[in-house]
Amino acid sequence: MKHDNKNIMVVLSSPSGAGKTTITKKIQQKFSSFKISVSHTTRKPRPNEVNGVDYHFVSSEKFKSLINEKKLYEHAKIFDNYYGTSKDIVDNLIKTNDIIFDIDWQGSLQLKKSLYPNILVQWNMSPETLIDQSEISGVDYYLDNNDKTDKDFAVAANGSTYRKDKEGIIPSLITDYYDERKSVKNQMLAAESAFQKNKTVDLEKEINRLHNQQMAIKILMNSLYGATSNAR
């Protein structure tokens, strides 16, 4: 997931009917930069719902193909229907907008796994970019002084503030690891496709090797997030 470092993502997650939609509308009323990530679903449209506005309504076959092709950041089955967040939609939105995710708790757990490395890049989190906070009091400062926010700063949820005028070492590494993992996963998908046509022991070993390699990169990226976010 690549985007303009100036844009942010907010995840609203709860059981159905807890009020996520109401909060989302309040945020949009106060901050016009926020756009909603419109989810895909296999359920039938309700009266007055508009395709592409409320949800992207798709068939079960189409949704399963999105899962198999790794085109969803998260997905969950709720009351016999599938819901999911499209990678293409999010990646395009975040280039020019802030995003609100209005998703079920199951989806939030999956999304969180994908977002950990992304957060490092978004906030430019690295030891050498962490700045003195003697004059800044964290998230509340930015919400209360929206017109005074310095665009060269990024504030994390715990109040840590990072400079954004120069890319940090860790975000740079994350970008390289992301590209490497994507390449390995593409190799794994190609090997899996070949295995379906010719089930050999060598191909099976290659699939397992590539799977372990991409998982190792994923764990490394998530570990960097854990180490950096706990540094404060």
- CATH number of the domain at 169-229, out of 1.10.287, 3.30.200, 1.20.5, 1.10.10? 1.10.287
Mean pLDDT of 19-35: 83
Digit-coded pLDDT (tens) for 183-209: 898 899 899 989 999 999 999 999 999
Mean pLDDT of 201-225: 90
Considering the chain, what is the average pLDDT of its residues?
78
Digit-coded pLDDT (tens) for 140-180: 555 555 544 455 677 766 667 888 788 889 888 888 887 88
Q: Could you give the residue range(s) of every CATH 1.10.287 domain in the chain?
A: 169-229
Contacts 24+ apart (CB under 8 A), 152-156: 154/5, 154/122, 154/123, 154/124, 155/123, 156/119, 156/123, 156/125, 156/229
Q: What is the pLDDT of residue 3?
A: 41
**pLDDT for residue 42 is more than 90:** yes
Q: Which residues have CB under 8 Å from 10's CB, separation 6+?
A: 27, 34, 98, 99, 100, 101
Query: Using CA atoms, how far apart are residues 164 and 130, in angstroms rounded to an integer?
Result: 10
Query: Where is 188: in which H helix or E strand?
Result: helix 169-197
Q: Domain 9-112 is of which CATH architecture?
A: 3-Layer(aba) Sandwich (3.40)
Q: What is the pLDDT of residue 150?
A: 52
Q: Could you give the residue range(s) of every CATH 3.40.50.300 domain in the chain?
A: 9-112
Q: Classify 19 as helix, strand or coil.
A: coil
Q: Where do we find the tokens 């909060």?
A: 23
What percent of the chain is modeled with pLDDT above 70?
A: 75
19: phi > 0 → left, psi -120 to 50 → alpha, else beta; which? left
Q: What is the pLDDT of residue 218?
A: 84
**pLDDT for residue 14 is more than 80:** no
